[in-house]
Amino acid sequence: MVTATLRPTRVRVNETAIFENVQHALAQLKEETALFAVVKADGYGHGLLRVARVAQKAGASGFCVAVLDEALALRQAGFTAPILVLGIIEPAYAAIAAANHVAVPVGSAAWLDEALPHLQDPALPPLRVHLAMDTGMGRIGFRDVAALKAACAVAVANPQAFEIEGLFTHFATADEPDTTYFKLQVARFQAFLAALPTKPRYVHVANSATSLWHQACNGNVIRFGVAMYGLNPSGRAIEATPYPLKPAMSLVSTLSFVKQIEAGEAVSYGATYHAAEAEWIGTVPMGYADGWLRRLQGFHVLVDGQFCEIVGRVCMDQFMIRLPHAYPTGTAVVLVGQSGDQTITLQDVADYSQTIHYEIACGLAARLPRESVAPVK
Ligand SMILES: *Cc1c(COP(=O)(O)O)cnc(C)c1O
């Protein structure tokens, strides 16, 4: 993938915001509870290694990633802290995980049986496994105690191959005001825990939303994701948070072309926009190939502290805006962030796009350079 460093469009990542969000989260935790920074999907679009470094500086004692390659990228960069992959890996790659001290989730005895032949090298350390309980997320994990016990038996019978390091579940509705389903999942998790003779080292249930709004059930590790980036996991559903979340990401560009068009003249593919009167139109060098969605036609950006409508269809690599008057090319354009007294948040972009901020942040393409601001030394 080519990163467009010679184009002014940038993702800016405020490292101090990430640092402070982690420190605020840690301050809420009981002393024995650790924080694993969730840095999957290139740190939710903020940059894997940058976020990992800042989170660790702020006190994160481990990392969660989605896929094994992300774990290896952290190891190659020199991170030695515990890493947990959150998705099921193929059993054939168990040895790669073990050799790199990367923990993986397990949701069936069959997975352990299939991984076992790949873990026979006596030079390999045992593979660290976290037993996943499906208490209602319906994604991965054991759905009853008998299945859990059968898997434990396989692991315990093969201590050279497996070390049960963790036990966890994931909540489907921790970010919703209605706690009915959340409580059902907690009860099911308690039943799983009660059925086990010993607890592994890590027992964890909390994503960001759980850590913010259901602190009693944190376990001894939290998997701290979206809130680390300063985004409210509930979107706008639960406004109150125990500490302020400071958004880390902004998105900026500059005007690459400016012109005045006559009343009735059209802009962009399909000629869907016609100027009502003589209008100043600016071109912004970013498009849907960068993750700036085509459905953002009609939304706005900020120029000189003023909202400017996105007119005509968003193209693959460029889009056009209506300016209040002439501005020189090179004038700053803020797509996400602050300009003058006005702000556009990722939540605003998500609302207009009828999705969630998570999807906007991690949908920003690798073509966009990431640049640190307020760096944490
Ligand atoms: C992505 C993920 C998280 C982090 O969720 P946030 O809402 O971003 O805090 C935690 N746990 C699991 C299993 C996940 O997949």
Q: What's 139's domain CATH number?
A: 3.20.20.10
* CA 225–ligand 1 middle distance (angstroms): 6
CA angle 298, 303, 307 (to 5 degrees): 40
- Residue 141 in contact with ligand 1 by CB distance below 6 A: no
* Residue that is last in its domain, among 229, 262, 287: 229
**Is 190 a domain residue?**
yes
- Which residue in 139, 86, 132, 137 sits closest to 109, CA to CA? 132
pLDDT score of 328 = 98
Q: What is the predicted pLDDT for the residue at 217? A: 77
> Does 115 map to a domain?
yes
CATH number of the domain that residue 283 is part of: 2.40.37.10
**Claim to verify: residue 32 and residue 144 sit in the same structural domain:** yes
At 124-147, the pLDDT tens digits run 999 999 999 999 999 999 999 999
Looking at the fold, whether 222 and 154 belong to one and the same domain comes out as yes
Tell me how far apart the alpha carbons of residues 373 and 15 are, in angstroms, rounded to a whole number.
6
Task: Look up the pTM and report it.
Answer: 0.97
CA of residue 175 to ligand 1 center, whole Å: 11
Same domain, 160 and 67: yes
Residue 375 counted as domain residue: no
> Beta 10-14 vs 202-206: how paired, if at all?
unpaired
Answer yes or no: do 214 and 280 share one domain. Answer: no
Helices of type H across 48-131:
48-58, 68-76, 94-99, 109-115
Note whether residue 261 is domain-resident. Answer: yes
User: Are residue 81 and residue 197 in the same domain, yes or no?
Assistant: yes
| Residue at which a domain ends, from 179, 194, 229 | 229
Whether residue 217 sits in one domain with residue 315:
no
Whole-number Cα distances in Å, 1 to 4, 43, 127, 365, 366:
10, 18, 33, 9, 7
Claim to verify: residue 262 and residue 340 sit in the same structural domain: yes
223 lines ligand 1 (CB under 6 A): yes
Task: DSSP letter for 152, please.
Answer: H
Phi/psi region, residue 361 (left: phi>0; alpha: psi -120 to 50; beta: rest), is alpha
Report which protein residue has its CA nearest ligand 1's atom 14.
86
Calculate the CA 323 to chain-centre distance.
Answer: 33
Whether 365 is covered by a domain: the verdict is no
344 lines ligand 1 (CB under 6 A): no
Average pLDDT per block of 10 residues along the chain, 377 residues long: 97 98 97 96 98 98 98 98 98 98 98 98 98 98 97 97 98 97 96 92 97 88 98 98 98 98 98 98 98 98 98 98 98 98 98 98 98 96
Tokens found for residue 192:
């799983």
Q: Check if the beta carbon of residue 109 is closer than 8 Å to that of residue 142.
A: no
Q: Given this model, what pLDDT does residue 215 score?
A: 87
257: domain range? 249-344
Nearest CA to ligand 1 atom 10: 207
**Residue 219 covered by a domain:** yes
Judge if 56 and 158 occupy the same domain: yes
Q: Is residue 57 part of a domain?
A: yes
Residue 53 burial by CB count (10 A; 0-12/13-18/19+): exposed, middle or buried? middle
E-assigned strands of the chain?
A: 10-14, 34-38, 62-65, 83-85, 102-106, 127-133, 162-169, 202-206, 221-224, 249-254, 257-261, 266-267, 273-274, 279-284, 300-303, 306-311, 319-323, 332-339, 342-344, 370-373
The candidate with the shortest Cα–Cα distance to 108, out of 78, 133, 72, is: 133
Distance 278 CA to ligand 1 centre (A): 49
- The reply to whether ligand 1 has any atom less than 6 angstroms from the CB of 231 is no
Tally of domains within the chain: 2
Tokens of 73: 């990228």
Per the CB < 8 A criterion, the answer to whether 199 and 193 are in contact is yes
- In this structure, the answer to whether residues 45 and 92 fall within a common structural domain is yes
pLDDT value at position 67? 98
Verify that 53 and 193 share a domain, yes or no. Answer: yes
Give the pLDDT score at 197.
86
pLDDT at position 270 is 98
Domain assignment of residue 44, yes or no:
yes
Q: Are residues 258 and 182 in the same domain?
A: no
Residues 30 and 100 reside in one and the same domain: yes
